[in-house]
Amino acid sequence: MAECSSEISNTAGPVKAKEELLDECDSIWKQIEECQSKLMLLGTDTLLPSDTKLSVLMLQWKALTVDFQQWQARNPEVISTNPDVLLELGKEELQKVKNDLEMVLSTVQSKNKRLEEDLKREQQWNEEQKQMLETLYKVEEEANTEVEHPSTKSLKTRELNELKNKLLKLETYKKELLSALGKFLDEHFPPPEEGENIKKKNSLAEPAVELIPLQEILEMLINTFMTTPHEPYITINESFWPPYIELLLRYGMALRHPEDANRIRLQAYHK
């Protein structure tokens, strides 16, 4: 029974405070209505001659100016001194502050996540560079060994020729893939129509710009991704046709830079 009585008293406090706050608001509203009714009565007075009316209006204007300055100089008054009312108002303000802090925390966490992804990418690029250096050191050691032991030169030459043949095959295969890609893009995604270029040439705000075909955009993304994997982004300018960029982004073939919307990179399909 003691627990029930304590719960009732806890809930009764805010309810009573709310009722008192509403009563005070009603009282203030009644005062406003009384002032408004007095002003309406003053407006029904008999009209005065023009000069007298002008002087009265000037006096009213001065009085209103003084009232306006006094209201601006006044500090806001607390509606109620009831501790329960102030407690409820304080809870609302704390809730607003809490929501704002949660939004800030979410933003910071999102930014930290992006920074962690950038750090992982840089670490991966660093590991790749280390492996490349180790491979070069091994090649240098093998070259020095060949100089010291000419008997192994023929074997190394054979291996080198095999590597060259593999590179030639890969280069041929790359050209075939690019050719097939070009045919597919020419058939299904032809270059921007001449009308798009004409619109840009006739525009007074921008100079004439020749739009880049989709195949060239893909080649730029691929080459940048292969040559500089630690910084695979390209910058979009006026020569990039917006529908092509939207197509690449919508179907996940390209991604925007997290901090610069004018830079995109190829999706890392190998990961």
Q: Among 38-42, 93-97, 108-112, 186-190, whose mean pLDDT is lowest?
A: 38-42
In this model, does residue 43 exceed pLDDT 60? no
Integer Cα distance of 68 and 28 in angstroms: 19
Q: Please check whether residue 137 lies inside any domain of the structure.
A: no
The verdict on pTM exceeding 0.85 is no
In this model, does residue 179 exceed pLDDT 90? no
Q: Which residues pair with 254 in a beta bridge?
A: 266
Q: Tokens for 67?
A: 């009232």
In this model, does residue 203 exceed pLDDT 90? no
Q: Please check whether residue 123 lies inside any domain of the structure.
A: no
Q: What is the mean pLDDT of residues 59-83?
A: 74
> How many structural domains comprise the chain?
2
Nearest one of 196, 193, 189, 195 to 218, comparing CA atoms: 189
Q: What is the mean pLDDT of residues 141-150?
A: 69
| CA-to-CA dists, residue 51 to 48, 61, 62, 233, angstroms | 8, 15, 17, 77
Q: Please check whether residue 258 lies inside any domain of the structure.
A: yes
Q: Please check whether residue 135 lies inside any domain of the structure.
A: no
Q: Please check whether residue 156 lies inside any domain of the structure.
A: no
Q: What is the mean pLDDT of residues 228-253?
A: 89
Q: Please check whether residue 116 lies inside any domain of the structure.
A: no
Integer Cα distance of 88 and 106 in angstroms: 27
In this model, does residue 118 exceed pLDDT 80? yes
- Amino acid found at 210: E
Q: What is the mean pLDDT of residues 49-65?
A: 76
Q: Among 22-26, 44-48, 248-252, whose mean pLDDT is lowest?
A: 44-48
For residue 26, the 8-state DSSP code is H
Question: CA dihedral in degrees (161, 159, 139, 145; nearest 10)?
Answer: -120
Residue whose pair of structure tokens reads 């990039």 in the numeric block: 240
Q: Please check whether residue 86 lies inside any domain of the structure.
A: no
| CA-to-CA dists, residue 127 to 146, 187, 222, angstroms | 29, 41, 21
**Predicted pLDDT of residue 233:** 93
Q: Please check whether residue 183 lies inside any domain of the structure.
A: yes
Residue whose pair of structure tokens reads 């709310």 in the numeric block: 18
**Predicted pLDDT of residue 102:** 92
Inter-residue contact 244 to 221 (CB < 8 Å): no
pLDDT > 90 fraction of the chain, expressed in percent and rounded: 7
**Predicted pLDDT of residue 151:** 55
**Predicted pLDDT of residue 42:** 63
Residue range(s) defining the domain that contains residue 240: 173-271
**Predicted pLDDT of residue 234:** 92
**Predicted pLDDT of residue 205:** 46
Q: Among 49-63, 116-130, 153-167, 199-213, whose mean pLDDT is lowest?
A: 199-213
Angle (CA) 161-164-169 rounded to 5° is 130
